[in-house]
Amino acid sequence: MSLNSQLSQKTSIFSLKLWVVIGIALGIFIVLILLLLSLWLTARRKSKRAVEKLPITQIPKVSKEIKEVRVESRDYTHRDGVLLTVNDKSSDKESDKVMMHLGMGKFDNADINSRSGSFNHTEKGAGSQSGDEGGSATVYKPSSSHPLNVASPLTGLPEFSHLGWGHWFTLRDLELATGRFSKDNVLGEGGYGVVYRGQLINGTPVAVKKILNNLGQAEKEFRVEVEAIGHVRHKNLVRLLGYCVEGTHRMLVYEYVNNGNLEQWLHGAMRQQGFLTWEARMKVILGTAKALAYLHEAIEPKVVHRDIKSSNILIDEEFNAKVSDFGLAKLLGAGKSHITTRVMGTFGYVAPEYANTGLLNEKSDIYSFGVVLLEAITGRDPVDYGRPANEVNLVDWLKMMVGSRRSEEVVDPNMETRPSTRALKRALLVALRCVDPESDKRPKMTQVVRMLEAEEFPLRELSCVCDNA
């Protein structure tokens, strides 16, 4: 029997010929395949915006250096070998009294004018404002580390994007926020990557840190910052709002702080707007001290920042400090006095014992803080090769000046109104204690906060420290 005869035979299915049945079966099969393919594509498209409660353990593995910060298991929340409970033990009281010098010069825009009380304005080509042209005012600003009725920067974003403590952003979200990572939106860049200014769909301004994927460095820095500050909240820490993990992209999204950083105000572009007053400098320093006290003593495991410097202290419109950039941070668990790690940080700010041995603990941050305080007092860089040989290193020069009883000469000459002798000596005492070459003699950051806030301070103790400097 020929093939045509076989295909032409009637079947038991409605007496249809065999070739008709085969054709119908093939058609149904093709339709089913197309339907399944359509369903798969639809599900894949939806999955990009579906809720995925990914634990920290699913963030890609990092280099062995991160494993050095593992701590012993205790009754804390456990996330991939790192204890990440947050126990806030600090009482963060802001000093209410803010002394400000009000210059009479005209500013280019209202935003600058609204902040004029915290710095001495100098008109181009005119020199400093004279005492007759300006005035002084005392302003009282009650504040709290936990402000009430402040809208969350994540309000209005799609609910399905929330991911535990923060927000899970897609690559598309951040491309839209930054104008496809436009060069016009670049805020800064370095070996770690590039920071862009952005605006979320709810109008919130943000800073997007796009980490360069250099030999796994992106994975390491991404994980360190998420583990170090993902869950912590403090008014003097830059808030990490969320992050993006998509393909090879690793990005972190922070609150946007739009008033420059301490380095820019002391040495850089922000000086064009004026010079910080003593009161504004001490407000920034006190806020930084409170942030470090929180990281070192109020949470478990404690966080060692490892790169405290003036350029990492952002300043908001009210001249509150915001400590930023935790890409080098380390976690130090209970029972650990130190960890051994590769020496990282910025020349001039690194503690001598850490530079020499690689042994790291919170005392290293305290040394760096002391250098920043000296920087704020003097207006000088930590290391300046443009100065005479005995003035190149800020710490050594200041110790020499104080030891020669010339402490009044170290104040930044750009400050129009000098601090009182008592205020200057208090600040110098705190700084000298923080940069003590013997780490065990450095105070804790909670002690630093108390010393900076103290109205009365024993001048005899100040004299003893100055004699031993």
Span 25-29, average pLDDT = 91
pLDDT at 70 over 70: no
pLDDT band with cut points at 50, 70 and 90 for residue 16: confident
Statement to judge: residues 235 and 272 lie in one domain: no
Question: How many domains does the chain divide into?
Answer: 2
Go through the chain and tell me how many residues it has. 469
Q: Is residue 294 a part of any domain in this protein?
A: yes
Tens of pLDDT, residue by residue over 284-325, are 999 999 999 999 999 888 999 999 999 999 999 999 999 998
Within this chain, do residues 306 and 430 fall inside the same structural domain, yes or no?
yes
d(CA 35, CA 31): 6
- Locate the DSSP E strands across 328-419: 330-332, 339-340, 359-360
Q: Do 329 and 357 share a domain, yes or no? A: yes
CA end-to-end distance (rounded Å), the chain? 113
Distances (CA, A) of 236 to 201, 286, 320, 327, 468: 26, 10, 7, 17, 33
Q: How confident is the model at residue 269 (pLDDT cuts 50, 70, 90)?
A: confident
- Bind-site residues for ATP: 210
CATH number of the domain where residue 366 is located: 1.10.510.10
* 152 inside domain: yes
pLDDT over 70 (residue 53)? no
448 contacts 430 by C-beta, under 8 angstroms: yes
Look-up of token digits 């420290």: 465
282 with 240, same domain: the answer is no
> 138: burial class by Cβ within 10 Å (0-12, 13-18, 19+)?
exposed
Q: Are residues 303 and 241 located together in one domain of the fold?
A: no
Among 378, 384, 391, 468, residue whose Cα is nearest residue 432: 468
Run of H or E residues at 110 = helix 110-113
Whether residue 367 is found in the same domain as residue 272: yes
Annotated binding site: 210
Residue 55: both structure tokens together: 């634990």
* pLDDT value, residue 449: 97
Mean pLDDT value across residues 272-283: 93
Indicate the residue type of 232: V
Question: Do residues 451 and 365 share a domain?
Answer: yes
Same domain, yes or no: 199 and 309: no
364-401, pLDDT tens digit by residue? Answer: 999 999 999 999 999 999 999 999 999 999 999 999 99
Residue with tokens 């992106």: 218
The whole-number pLDDT of residue 456 equals 65
Q: Is 132 a catalytic residue?
A: no
What is this structure's pTM?
0.66
| Residues 290, 421 within the same domain | yes
Tell me: do 363 and 291 sit in the same domain: yes
Mean pLDDT value of segment 246-269: 91
Based on the fold, state whether residues 216 and 288 are members of the same structural domain: no
**In terms of pLDDT, which residue wins out, 41 or 206?**
206
What domain range is 195 assigned to? 148-255
Residue 413, domain member (yes or no): yes
Among 221, 255, 289, residue at a domain's last position: 255
Residues 67 and 81 sit within 8 Å (Cβ to Cβ): yes
Q: Which of 92, 96, 111, 307 is catalytic?
A: 307
CATH number of the domain to which 172 belongs: 3.30.200.20
Name the average pLDDT for the chain: 76
Residues 311 and 459 in one domain: yes
